[in-house]
């Protein structure tokens, strides 16, 4: 699909990882609009005020973003694609043109998203004099540092944030694990033609009988379909009852409609979130 002049909503401000994933996926000839929470993304897309939304669904280190699994269950949107963004964290501060071993001594506080702070723990442990402060997101912390213009304050954010907010890169690639990816879903409430789809995401509930999960998933094993993710989430209105979220990759020569019809016979309810082309990790 080619995109131009589309309205795309994401969480955060310019320079956030969601913004970068959206820009990489859709291209720069579109309109990117940031909001302050994930639920607003789903509301804007469901109401068709926005053409697309981009939401993080899981991180290779931190795991699933449960809030967005719940939002997928709640809102009437479709998953039309996915994108994997490699996460590289940078230490940023206002420009001072000092060597790092001197510059780091001035820093008293570092702002960032809680997960970013957690993912840079080994680096931060080297500097116990610095207070770590959780903030709404990485790009917002970069914007804050730029606005405060204080040499004692720094942030952890993307490389792009240094350009956007006129900050200096103090340290590069400070994440503990270089194999750090976030997977994003592209969502829409409009119909889109997907070329060569090979992946699906569905939500379902099960009857409370022995072997119900096994019986439901057995059909995928019978057709040699690879489940790439399975997660259970509580249903707030029904204490101690759960819905299940699964992703699976299917070969092009398979009768997916038949498999889903057979699967429906084994479950109480099913919601097909989307059938789309799998993304690549680069």
* Helix, strand or coil, per DSSP, at residue 186: strand
Tell me, yes or no, if 184 is annotated catalytic: yes
Question: Choosing from 38, 111, 184, 244, which is the catalytic residue?
Answer: 184
Question: Choosing from 38, 52, 182, 243, which is the catalytic residue?
Answer: 182
Q: Which residue in this structure is represented by tokens 């119900």?
A: 212
Tell me, yes or no, if 42 is annotated catalytic: no
- The residues pairing with 56 across neighbouring beta strands, listed in sequence order, are 184
The alpha carbons of the chain give a radius of gyration, in whole angstroms, of: 21
Short-list 154, 159, 128, 160, CA closest to 141:
154
Q: Do the strands 269-276 and 199-205 form a parallel or antiparallel pair, or are they unpaired? A: antiparallel
Short-list 17, 57, 62, 56, CA closest to 229:
57
Query: What is the rounded CA–CA span in Å between residue 65 and residue 119?
Result: 15
Phi–psi pair at 32, nearest 5 degrees: -105, 125
Answer for the pair 241, 46: CB distance below 8 angstroms, yes or no.
no
- The residues pairing with 234 across neighbouring beta strands, listed in sequence order, are 242
Answer for the pair 85, 20: CB distance below 8 angstroms, yes or no.
yes
Please give the sequence-ordered ranges of beta strands (E in DSSP) within the chain, or none if there are none.
7-11, 31-35, 52-59, 63-64, 78-86, 90-93, 109-112, 131-134, 153-157, 168-171, 181-188, 199-205, 226-235, 238-249, 269-276
Q: Mind telling me the catalytic residues?
A: 182, 184
């Amino acid at each position: 699909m080619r995109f131009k002049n589309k309205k795309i909503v994401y969480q955060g401000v310019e320079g956030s990882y969601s913004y970068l994933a959206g820009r990489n996926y859709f291209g720069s000839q579109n309109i990117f609009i940031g909001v302050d929470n994930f639920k607003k993304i789903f509301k804007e897309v469901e109401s068709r005020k926005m053409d697309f939304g981009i939401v993080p669904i899981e991180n290779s280190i931190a795991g699933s973003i449960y809030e967005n699994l719940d939002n997928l269950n709640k809102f009437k949107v479709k998953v039309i694609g996915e994108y994997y963004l490699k996460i590289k964290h940078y230490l940023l501060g206002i420009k001072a043109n000092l060597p790092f071993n001197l510059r780091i001594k001035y820093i008293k506080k570092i702002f960032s998203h809680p997960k970013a702070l957690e993912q840079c723990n080994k680096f931060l442990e080297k500097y116990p004099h610095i207070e770590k402060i959780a903030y709404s997101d990485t790009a917002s912390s970069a914007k804050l540092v730029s606005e405060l213009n204080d040499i004692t304050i720094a942030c952890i954010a993307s490389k792009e944030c240094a350009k956007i907010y006129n900050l200096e890169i103090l340290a590069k690639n400070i994440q503990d694990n270089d194999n750090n990816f976030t997977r994003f879903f592209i969502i829409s409430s409009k119909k889109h033609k997907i070329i060569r789809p090979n992946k699906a995401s569905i939500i379902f509930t099960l009857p409370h009988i022995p072997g119900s999960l096994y019986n439901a998933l057995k059909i995928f094993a019978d057709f040699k379909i690879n489940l790439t993710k399975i997660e259970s989430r509580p249903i707030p209105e029904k204490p101690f009852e759960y819905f299940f979220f699964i992703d699976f990759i299917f070969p092009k020569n398979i009768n997916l409609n038949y498999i889903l019809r057979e699967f429906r016979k084994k479950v109480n309810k099913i919601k097909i979130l989307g059938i789309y082309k799998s993304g690549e990790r680069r």
